[in-house]
Amino acid sequence: MKHIIEKQKYLSLNPTTKEIVAEFQMMNKEEIEEIILATVEAQKEWKKIPAPSRGEALLKIADLLEKRADEWGQLLTTEVGKCIRDGVAEVYRSVSILRFFAGEGYRMTGETIPSKQEGVLAYTKQQPLGTVGVITPWNVPLAIPIWKIAPALVAGNSVVWKPANQSLLISQKLVALFEEAGLPKNLVAMVQAEGPVVGDTFAENENIKAVSFTGSNKTGKIINKLLATRGIRFQAEMGGKNPFIIMADADIEQACKDIVAGGLLDAGQRCTATSRIFVHTSIYPAFREKMLEVLETVKLGPPTEEASIIGPVVDQGQYENIWSYINQAKLDGATLIYGGDEPEEEWAKNGYFIKPKLFDNVSQDMTIAKEEIFGPVLALIQFSDFDECLKQANAIEYGLSSTIYTKDISAAMKYVDEIESGLVHINLPSTYSEPQMPFGGIKSTGIGGFRELGTHAIKFYTEWKTVYVRTK
């Protein structure tokens, strides 16, 4: 007998005001299964369209998004509290991602390999998997779904998409935009349902051929285990605890600015966010002074205002979670040297605002040095020996992003070789990434080993065929 859960309503709230932005009726398992069937049907025609033409459909979506970048930016501000400049930047980033993947339609190549037999043609080709599941978080609610869905589509698949509940309105509008751009109905279908209901359905339903997920480590591991029973492909990006190393010869001012860019934009709610800052003892006093000075310029405020650099965190759950880490850090003996007071202005009364926090005297065994906080919280750790610093930077289960600030090319190259992370930055913020470059982590961040973005992304969504043809 099929498992049916009671229908529930989900209210999407504006994190700045707690006003209701939209109301959604959650789907049950049977409804999700119906959507999967409709999506399977849509793929049958889509896969016949040549890949370059499938890519052209993505260009139309890109054009529509670009034309309405401000409107979309405001939507991101309203539903997930992104500061308007970051919201609009995410729209333009999504446009670039779509254009990159549109071009991939022309690059869905195989190989022609010389046969040893006369009269035999030997070649390989890529084919779509069929229908795939995509599960996305709320923190990058436009760009992450697009960087999963675009390669899936250009490769000839259809998509059942489970967005985070906190960003359902954005997601619903994105699906509508796909249709406006001319994509067939149900080629990308959204399911609005509780995560575990979708996870179970994807795991059981044989029409789902692969699942791409971004979110917490805990949830990713649950889904990985569920999917393992059918042995289907799983692509995962499951968080980070990203180190930022400042060597004795570093440009301190640039490092401080990039700590803000990488650690505090989007209120630190990025898997690539700078979190643990290792500073060489010899420059520690100078760094500390500059960091405090730079933090004074970081304006916390309503995300609708152009001047705001940090807005609210996404919801009550996230707010409480971040505060539990801040309180734990104090209990563990770390010293709060910036952010001890919260905003008292009228705009802050209803929103989930947290002033950025800088902790000093953090040691590796403290919770804030080990667990992903996903908030505007930075931890300072001093080091005097580079090898020891690398050892500490690597002593966590995550391996997504990392950064070093130095002018010493040998130190930088040693760092590239030894740091355990999928994304490595030298004198750039930990969040820096471009669509044509692969994105993803190692260790428990990147179970499965499949990369997103770049030309690697398509590989997750295709099957290879090896073809032998008698030609004479």
Ligand X SMILES: O=C(O)CCC(=O)C(=O)O
Residues acting as catalytic residues: 237, 271
Count of alpha carbons within 13 angstroms of residue 74, beta-carbon side: 3
The encoded tokens of residue 102 equal 């549109």
Contact partner, 433, from ligand NDP, ligand X, none, Cβ < 5-8 Å per class: ligand X
Entry field: residues in the chain: 472
Indicate the residue among 108 and 140 with the shorter CB distance to ligand NDP: 140
Alpha-carbon gap, residue 139 to 221, rounded angstroms: 19
Contact partner, 222, from ligand NDP, ligand X, none, Cβ < 5-8 Å per class: ligand NDP
CB of 172 to ligand NDP, least distance (A): 14
Indicate the residue among 163 and 301 with the shorter CB distance to ligand NDP: 163
CB of 75 to ligand NDP, least distance (A): 18
Alpha-carbon gap, residue 416 to 398, rounded angstroms: 16
Indicate the residue among 213 and 386 with the shorter CB distance to ligand NDP: 213
> Can you name the residues that pair with 246 across neighbouring β-strands?
279, 405
Site residues for ligand NDP per CB under 6 A? 135-139, 162-165, 194-196, 198-199, 214-216, 219, 222-223, 237-239, 271, 318, 321, 372, 374
Alpha-carbon gap, residue 126 to 119, rounded angstroms: 23
Contact partner, 196, from ligand X, ligand NDP, none, Cβ < 5-8 Å per class: ligand NDP
417: helix, strand or coil: helix
Q: How many residues bind ligand X (CB under 6 A)?
A: 11
User: Which phi-psi region, left, alpha or beta, contains residue 265 (left: φ > 0; alpha: ψ -120 to 50)?
Assistant: beta
Query: Using the rule CB under 6 A, is 235 a contact of ligand X?
Result: no
Indicate the residue among 134 and 140 with the shorter CB distance to ligand X: 140
Of 177-185, 265-273, 288-296, 340-348, which part binds ligand X (CB under 6 A)?
A: 265-273
Q: At 18, give phi and psi (nearest 5°).
A: 65, 15
Indicate the residue among 321 and 363 with the shorter CB distance to ligand X: 321
Per-residue binder mask for ligand X (CB under 6 A), 108-147, x = binder: -----------------------------x-xx---x---
Of 104-112, 267-275, 343-351, 382-390, which part binds ligand X (CB under 6 A)?
A: 267-275
Query: Using the rule CB under 6 A, is 433 a contact of ligand X?
Result: yes
Contact partner, 189, from ligand X, ligand NDP, none, Cβ < 5-8 Å per class: none
> Can you name the residues that pair with 161 across neighbouring β-strands?
134, 190
CB of 384 to ligand X, least distance (A): 32
The encoded tokens of residue 54 equal 């499938």
338: helix, strand or coil: strand
Alpha-carbon gap, residue 315 to 337, rounded angstroms: 26
CB of 372 to ligand X, least distance (A): 10
CB of 212 to ligand X, least distance (A): 11
Alpha-carbon gap, residue 232 to 209, rounded angstroms: 6
Indicate the residue among 351 and 440 with the shorter CB distance to ligand X: 440
Pick one of 192, 214, 219, 421: the residue that binds ligand X (CB under 6 A).
214
CB of 42 to ligand X, least distance (A): 27
CB of 401 to ligand X, least distance (A): 8
Alpha-carbon gap, residue 4 to 261, rounded angstroms: 45
Exposure letters 448-460 (e unless 16+ CB within 10 A, then b)? bebbbbbbebbeb
Residue of 230, 240, 233 lying closest to 274 (CA atoms): 240
Alpha-carbon gap, residue 383 to 283, rounded angstroms: 10
The encoded tokens of residue 333 equal 């003996």
CB of 274 to ligand X, least distance (A): 12
Per-residue binder mask for ligand X (CB under 6 A), 140-159, x = binder: x---x---------------
Alpha helices in 189-283 (DSSP H): 195-204, 217-228, 252-263
Contact partner, 186, from ligand NDP, ligand X, none, Cβ < 5-8 Å per class: none
Residue of 121, 120, 167 lying closest to 13 (CA atoms): 167
Strand 357-360: give its sheet, edge to edge: 335-338, 357-360, 377-383, 274-280, 242-246, 401-405, 423-426
Indicate the residue among 321 and 328 with the shorter CB distance to ligand NDP: 321
Residues that bind ligand X (CB under 6 A): 137, 139-140, 144, 214, 237, 270-272, 431, 433
